[in-house]
Amino acid sequence: MKELKQLCRENIWNLAPYSCARNEFSGRTARVFLDANENPYNDPYNRYPDPLQLELKKQLSKVKGVAEDKIFLGNGSDEAIDLVYRVFCRPGKDNVVAIAPTYGMYEVCADINDVEYRPVLLNEQFQTTADHLLAACDENTKVIWICSPNNPTGNLISPETIDGVLSRFDGIVVVDEAYSDFAKTRPYRLQLAKYPNLIVLNTMSKAWGCAAIRLGMAFASKQIIDIFNKVKYPYNINLLTQQQALEVLKDPYQVDDWVKTILQERGKVMAAFTDLPICEKVYPTEANFFLAKMTDATAIYNYLVNQGIIVRNRNNVQLCGNCLRITVGKKSENIDLLAALRQY
């Protein structure tokens, strides 16, 4: 890996961050707050939230097995994705490489930040190799994006590929593990010490059932997290989000039960899909969704919409022609979906 100073944009490396009122007395006890031009009434919502979410990170550290100073919290994972571009990629000069198809926000954020986006098409098994990804790189490639389990395909990218990229690429490698709670493999966030160029994304939106609170996570070296904290908006995680996340974290075993139930339902729904005359193939998955190739995905999607059932039409995505992406729901929702498809 190159020195972090070499990878980081020069203006970001030299940036003097905004010093918010709550940071200035951090670590000391206070009882009267007259520093932040807040309204003294309507406690606790009149006060700015903890800018570094220290209590929340403390609890997440216990659950995720990552040190508190190696955790960044964002307004969804999308904030962390955008920060990667803002920190490491010079607009109009640098480029990034990503597998394709994959999560669309990597490319959207590249376009917003005026960074060239280089997709590397997966094979028919939705896999690739480190050689293929590295072949798309040049001296201005700053980041390689790997989503695993991948969206929309649902499969894990092989560890040989990810390890090969991490070992051989001298820039930043982002492994997005939004769906890792549904997979059986060891998460890459536990390998930060081995790979200093690794950033791992995770979220409260999927297994934790908290999509509405918009809380994303990035795990990386302390040096990278320090830069993220320097660039982020001062109070990027509001009090209500922090409070709800802390409440959910009190009972991680509930999440384990949800995951177990979803995986059981996933097996049943996938098996039922294979018996549908309108389904040609069900692809393997390690996520809370699966990809199914249909006889006419668009027509079936429109039919389901008319039945009040919404799935995701991936027909126009590379390698996903005539495919629907099905999120595994509650048992009653899955029954409604299958009943409608049997009547198509």
For residue 283, give both structure tokens.
């692809």
Shared domain for 76 and 222, answered yes or no, is: yes
| Per-residue pLDDT tens over the stretch 187-227 | 999 999 999 999 999 999 999 999 999 999 999 999 999 99
Q: Are residues 244 and 268 in the same domain?
A: no
Q: Is residue 231 domain-shared with residue 336, that is, in the same domain?
A: no
Can you give the pLDDT at residue 23?
Answer: 72
- Which pair of structure tokens corresponds to residue 104? 């669309």
Q: Token pair of 195, please?
A: 């790979």
User: Which tokens in the block code for residue 336?
Assistant: 């409604």
State residue 25's pLDDT score.
66
Summarize pLDDT for 245-295 with one digit per residue, the tens: 999 999 999 999 999 999 999 999 999 999 999 999 999 999 999 999 999
Q: Which of 191, 215, 250 is the last residue of a domain?
A: 250
Indicate if 173 and 26 belong to the same structural domain: yes
- CATH number reported for the structural domain that contains residue 198 in this entry: 3.40.640.10
Contacts of 253 (CB under 8 A, 6+ apart): none
Same domain membership, residue 280 and residue 171: no
Q: Which domain holds residue 220?
A: 4-250
The pLDDT score that the predictor gives to residue 64 is 97
- In this prediction, residue 27 carries a pLDDT of 55
Length of the chain: 344
The number of folded domains in the chain is: 2
Which pair of structure tokens corresponds to residue 173? 């490698």
Judge contact between 308 and 264, C-beta under 8 A: no
- Contact partners, residue 210, CB within 8 Å, separation at least 6: 204, 244, 245, 248
Q: Are residues 104 and 224 in the same domain?
A: yes
Co-location of 329 and 314 in the same domain: yes
| pLDDT tens-digit map of 288-337 | 999 999 999 999 999 999 999 999 999 999 999 999 999 999 999 999 99
* pLDDT digits 0-9 by tens, 80-89: 999 999 999 9
- The reported pTM is 0.96
What SS3 class is residue 183? Answer: coil
Together in a domain, 233 and 300: no
278 and 226 in a common domain: no
* 3-class state of residue 282 by DSSP: strand
Structure tokens at 146: 């790997």
Tell me the CA distances in angstroms from 42 to 50, 223, 243, one per residue in order: 17, 38, 17
Are the C-beta atoms of residues 297 and 314 closer than 8 Å to each other?
yes
Closest CA to 86 of 15, 155, 24: 15
Q: Given 250, 277, 294, which residue is the final one in a domain?
A: 250
Domain boundary among 184, 219, 250: 250
- Domain co-membership, 301 together with 161: no
Whether residues 238 and 271 share a domain: the answer is no
CATH of the domain at 328: 3.90.1150.10
Query: How does pLDDT run across 23-82, given as a tens digit for each residue?
Result: 766 656 778 888 889 999 999 999 999 999 999 999 999 999 999 999 999 999 999 999
- The pLDDT value given to residue 29: 73
Q: Are strands 116-121 and 95-100 parallel, antiparallel or unpaired?
A: parallel
**Among residues 280, 278, 283, 285, which one has the least CA distance to residue 304?**
278
Instruction: Say if residue 23 is in the same domain as residue 96.
Output: yes
Q: Which residue has the tokens 């020069």?
A: 10
Residue 277, preceding bond cis, omega within 30 degrees?
no
